[in-house]
């Protein structure tokens, strides 16, 4: 009799017995770094699901302008392009920061994080200026259902970026005060994931809101 | 013994964002390639949105395709979600997340379009309320 039939015969249809002896010796849980990263990944996905609700409400309400201005009359694609550039570059410098942290280069880490912070603040400043401009032109969130959903969606992303910058500054301070301890490195992993995920959401925002809004 | 187990785990599991590569050069190159592709895709979709050179009805489709491609680039080069055996958990979670996202967005659009379509014209509703 071959091994396979034996395995079936003995209630081991997935051949776990043989694997345990060779490679898959899982004694106890995975290391903390992997558990933490995975848990944070689940959080990010649920955050993306939350954003999808905002996207859905925006897509449903995009035509309901109540006689107010439409997207193509409001959006300035140049500002959006500069905002996008800021976020893309900040994602790159955030990657540089995680490399510097892995090789324990504190000066490089702090420099890369500082650049990331400046780029994030530039993004927020541009977005804030855009929002203030809309409100000044009588196109605030109370003007129409379209504008309510626009401010809710883009503003929610902006809030996430603001929270990310606060977290970024906290991480700079923690690395400065405590060095590259294992728990600090885990937090850095989560922060980098958060920052890159914000970029993904921004890709959806500029495509669905701004490019669709001015092209269609 | 516990060191051995730790090593085995490190070989079998990868946290999202983790990279196999430890050397600085290739990792740097990875981020640079990711940035380059992202900028290329962004520039293309901004160009497509604002041009008369392409057939107009194809523009929304092009923007959606470019956006999805760019999200893929971000996932692979920045978040390091790969299709490797060590990444199965992360990919499964991502797949489930995407399922929910499509259900929420597609379902909302579908239902609301249907409601809009089946709703009585506004003036008739007004008449009935009188």
pLDDT digits (tens, 9 = 90+) for B48-70: 988 888 888 888 999 999 999 99
Query: A43 at the B interface (CB within 8 A)?
Result: no
Q: What is the mean pLDDT of residues A55-81?
A: 91
Number of neighbouring beta carbons within 10 Å of residue B7? 10
What is the predicted ipTM? Answer: 0.81
- The overall average pLDDT reported for chain B is 84
- Identity of the residue in B32, B34, B101 whose CB atom sits nearest the CB atom of A49: B101
- Identity of the residue in B12, B32, B42 whose CB atom sits nearest the CB atom of A88: B42
Angstrom distances, CA of residue B31 to CA of A107, A196, B41: 20, 12, 15
Task: Decide if A81 and B101 are in contact by the 8 Å CB cutoff.
Answer: no
Enter the tokens of residue A119.
């780029």
Least confident of A9-18, A75-84, B14-23, B102-111: A9-18
Measure the CA–CA gap between A163 and B94, rounded to whole angstroms. Answer: 23
Q: What is the mean pLDDT of residues A50-56?
A: 96
| pTM for this prediction | 0.84
Q: What is the mean pLDDT of residues A54-75?
A: 91
Residues 86-115 of chain A with CB under 8 A from chain B are 88-89, 91-92, 95-96, 98-99, 102-103
CATH architecture of A50-215: Up-down Bundle (1.20)
Measure the CA–CA gap between A77 and A75, rounded to whole angstroms. Answer: 6
């Amino acid at each position: 009799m071959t091994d396979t039939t034996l395995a079936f015969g003995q209630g081991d249809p997935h051949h776990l017995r043989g694997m345990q002896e060779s490679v898959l010796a899982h004694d106890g849980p995975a290391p903390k770094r992997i558990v933490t990263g995975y848990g944070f990944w689940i959080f990010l996905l649920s955050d993306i699901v939350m954003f999808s609700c905002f996207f859905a409400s925006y897509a449903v309400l995009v035509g309901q302008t109540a006689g107010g201005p439409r997207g193509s009359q409001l959006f300035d694609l140049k500002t959006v392009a500069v905002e996008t550039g800021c976020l893309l570059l900040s994602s790159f410098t955030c990657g540089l920061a995680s490399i510097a942290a892995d090789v324990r280069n504190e000066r490089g880490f702090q420099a890369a994080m500082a650049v990331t912070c400046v780029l994030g603040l530039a993004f927020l400043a541009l977005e804030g200026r855009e929002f203030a401009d809309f409100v000044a032109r009588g196109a605030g969130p109370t003007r129409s259902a379209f504008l309510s959903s626009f401010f809710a969606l883009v503003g929610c992303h902006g809030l996430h970026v603001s929270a990310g910058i606060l977290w970024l500054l906290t991480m700079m301070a923690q690395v400065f005060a405590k060095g590259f301890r294992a728990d600090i490195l885990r937090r850095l992993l989560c922060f980098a994931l958060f920052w890159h995920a914000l970029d993904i959401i921004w890709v959806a925002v500029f495509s669905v809101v701004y490019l669709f809004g001015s092209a269609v | 013994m516990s060191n051995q187990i730790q090593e085995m785990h490190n070989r079998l599991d990868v946290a999202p964002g983790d990279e196999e590569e430890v050397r600085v050069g290739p990792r740097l190159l990875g981020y640079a390639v990711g940035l380059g592709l992202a900028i290329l895709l962004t520039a293309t979709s901004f160009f497509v949105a604002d041009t008369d050179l392409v057939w107009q009805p194809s523009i929304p489709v092009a923007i959606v395709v470019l956006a999805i491609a760019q999200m893929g680039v971000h996932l692979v080069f920045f978040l390091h979600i790969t299709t490797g055996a060590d990444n199965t958990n992360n990919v499964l979670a991502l797949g489930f997340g995407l399922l929910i996202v499509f259900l929420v967005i597609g379902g909302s659009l579908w239902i609301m379009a249907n409601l809009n379509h089946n709703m009585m014209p506004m003036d008739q509703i007004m008449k009935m309320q009188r």
